[in-house]
Amino acid sequence: MNVAPIPNPGDIGRQAVALRISGDQAAFWGCGFFGAQDTLHDDKGRHYFRDCYIKGSIDFIYGNGKSFYQNCVLISLANPVDPGSTGITGVITAQGRGSQEENTGFAFTNCTVGGNGRVWLGRAWKPFARVVFANTSMSDIIAPEGWNDFNDPARDKTVFFGEYNCSGPGANMTTRPPYVMRLNDTQASPFLNVSFIDGDQWLQPYI
């Protein structure tokens, strides 16, 4: 937990990490991560998060890890918005894949997204950011566009932002930008189980 105050969008120097994980082959079962901006620094390595509770406001899951999030609850603490406002007050992910050669990314499967504010599922912190949400329930806090290219249209051609079989009012993809992928079964398959992080080679069974 990091108890630093919740920043407003655009505030400088208000990041407050609760946990940074930079080791390879790390697993978290039933853990809670609490903060505001940059709560969980999923820095590098292969990681598994199951039945975890992650709370934050801006970029609250970020880094260049290759991680599989299963049955997790993601709660936004972003500032509420006035009715009719189109402003963005939070972001769930900021993935840091910097080149085509980096085999990193975040995969969320069977998760729940809720809380406050109007938020993006992710923004392209680095040009080749890779994030997929699959079989996930999304509340109406998700902005209709869903994602952001970090205000750099060049990244539209390099990011990999995908959604697959998600539900809830926030999962409506009709106004997503063209660079957001509505994944089919084949495209989604690599992101749906622990094989995404080579878990069959190192992940220990939960007892």
Q: Which residues are catalytic?
A: 38, 59
Would you call 14 helix, strand, or coil by DSSP? coil
Q: Which residue has the tokens 């094989």?
A: 195
- Give the phi and the psi of residue 93 in degrees, each rounded to 5: -125, 150
* Cα–Cα dist 177/123, whole Å: 12
C-beta separation of 117 from 110 below 8 A: no
Cα 141 to chain centroid distance, Å, stands at 14
Is residue 91 within 8 A of residue 116, CB to CB? The reply is no
Reading the block at residue 34, the tokens are 């609490």
Rounded Cα distance between 162 and 191, Å, is 10
Residue 65 to residue 49: CA distance in whole angstroms: 12
Here the tokens at position 206 are: 């939960």
